[in-house]
Amino acid sequence: QVVEERPAPAPPAKDSDVAISHPERVIFPDSTLTKGDLADYVATVAPLMLPWVAHRPVSLVRCPQGRARACFFQKHDAGSFGPHVHSVPIKEKDGGTEPYLYVEDADGLRACIQMGSIEFHGWGSSIATLEQPDRMIFDLDPDPSVTFYDVKRAAVHIHDQLAELGLTSFAMLSGGKGVHVVVPLTPDAAWPAVSNFAERFAKALAQGDSDRFVAVATKAKRKGRIFVDWLRNQRGATAVMPYSARARAGAPVAAPVAWRELDGIDTAARWTIRDGDELVTRAGSAAMRGWGVADQILPDL
Ligand code: ATP
Ligand code: MN
Ligand code: MN
């Protein structure tokens, strides 16, 4: 009797027990990148992502059939993500309570990918201090006629204005069209104070330089200008998380950068999910050390 020896099944990538079904499915048709490629990317950058993504409410851009087909923005727990994706009940404005999603480790990120997620967006506060944001963001949204060169100049201008107020800020390429200026905060002031500060800062900027900036979302008023989107700083609003992939052509990622290297970068989609190893190396560089970290509270404005 001959016992046929079968090869052992391949272990899941990076020692995870979260299996990825259909890893060969092409989800970025323009660049022939697959669900498996995205899962590998996320496993590679998980140590960089988790300090920002873990233990805070996240919303997911899910595109089960790939980015070229229908995508949807999922805020609430659907109960189908398995044991590595958790839920936390959060009171909403209308008085109701909804379960929000959160993850705490690489398996949680991977389980989201398994469920067809491409993008990770997060609240500006973590679950432990849900009512006190730990970051403020100015999301620079340029009108299509504005060059990336001008977006970079605008980001540096905002950095300088914040510095004059005593605030340290950091730059992140969104992976799309813009740059996010991120201001880390010690969780102290509550949402209304932070969003009020962000609103007044953005409006003062627009008033001082109305050729370049606008602080209202109205597209018609954006012509040739940059919308300083301060609305990311309202309770319940989200922004794309550092190192998240984007469901856009070429599979770009949201990438933290050092202020001094921003000058040499000519697109907000500079890095893609092919660049996981490079991003890990970069994150350990002297220029990037300490990115996103500052122990500070908002001054009076
Ligand atoms: P870009 O640089 O191209 O502007 P971005 O990530 O800043 O990229 P925005 O269009 O400015 O994109 O989006 C702002 C934020 O709005 C997103 O980061 C996301 O968190 C949130 N958002 C996106 N889609 C939805 C949606 N369907 N419902 C609610 N919020 C959303
Ligand atoms: Mn934006
Ligand atoms: Mn925006």
Report the relative pairing of strands 117-122 and 170-173 from DSSP bridges: unpaired
Ligand 1 atom 13 nearest Cα: 239
pLDDT for the residue 2: 47
Question: Measured from the CA of 139, which atom of ligand 1 is nearest?
Answer: 7
Domain annotation covers residue 123? yes
Q: How far is the CA of 163 from the centre of ligand 1 (A)?
A: 26
40: closest CA among 277, 285, 282? 277
Residue with tokens 């996010």: 180
261 in a domain, yes or no?
Answer: no
- Our measurement of the distance from residue 64's CA atom to the centroid of its chain's CA atoms, rounded to an integer in Å, reads 20
Structural tokens at position 80: 């189908």
Mutational pocket test of ligand 1: of 138, 141, 182, 230, the residue with most ligand atoms within 8 Å of the beta carbon: 141
- For residue 256, being part of any structural domain is answered with no
Pocket residue to mutate for ligand 1, from 53, 62, 76, 174, most atoms within 8 A of Cβ: 174
ipTM value for the complex: 0.93
The answer to whether position 180 is within a domain reads no
CATH of the domain at 18: 3.90.920.10
3-class secondary structure, 193: helix
Q: Which two tokens stand for residue 180?
A: 């996010």
Q: In the chain, which residues have pLDDT < 50?
A: 1-4, 6-12
* Strand locations in the chain (E): 26-28, 33-34, 58-62, 72-74, 85-91, 97-103, 117-122, 135-142, 170-173, 179-184, 213-214, 226-229, 239-240, 255-257
CB 194 within 8 A of CB 136: yes
| Test site for ligand 1: of 52, 60, 71, 73, most ligand atoms within 8 A of the Cβ | 73
Residue span of the structural domain in which 74 resides: 13-130
Q: Which atom of ligand 1 is nearest to the CA of 178?
A: 2
DSSP per-residue letters across 44-104: HHHHHHHHHHTTS-EEEEE-TT-TTS--EEE-B--S-S-TTEEEEEEE-TTS-EEEEEEE-
Give how many domains the chain has, as a whole number. 1
Task: Confirm whether 41 is domain-assigned.
Answer: yes
Q: List residues near ligand 1 (CB under 6 A).
A: 73, 121, 139, 141, 174, 176-178, 229, 238-240, 268
pTM of the model: 0.94
**What is the whole-number distance in angstroms between the Cα of residue 239 and the centre of ligand 2?**
8
Q: Which residues contact 205 (CB under 8 A, 6 or more apart)?
A: 158, 161, 213, 215, 228
Look at residue 229 and tell me if it is in a domain.
no
Residue environment code for 94-105, b if the CB has 16+ CB neighbours within 10 A, otherwise e: eeeebbbbbbee
Computed on alpha carbons and rounded to an integer, the radius of gyration of the chain in Å comes to: 20
Q: Which residues surround ligand 2, an ion (CB under 5 A)?
A: 139, 141, 178
Q: What is the pLDDT of residue 94?
A: 87
Neighbours of ion ligand 3 (CB under 5 A): 139, 141, 229
Q: Two tokens at 138? A: 């100015």
Position 124 in a domain: yes
- Residue 234 included in any domain: no
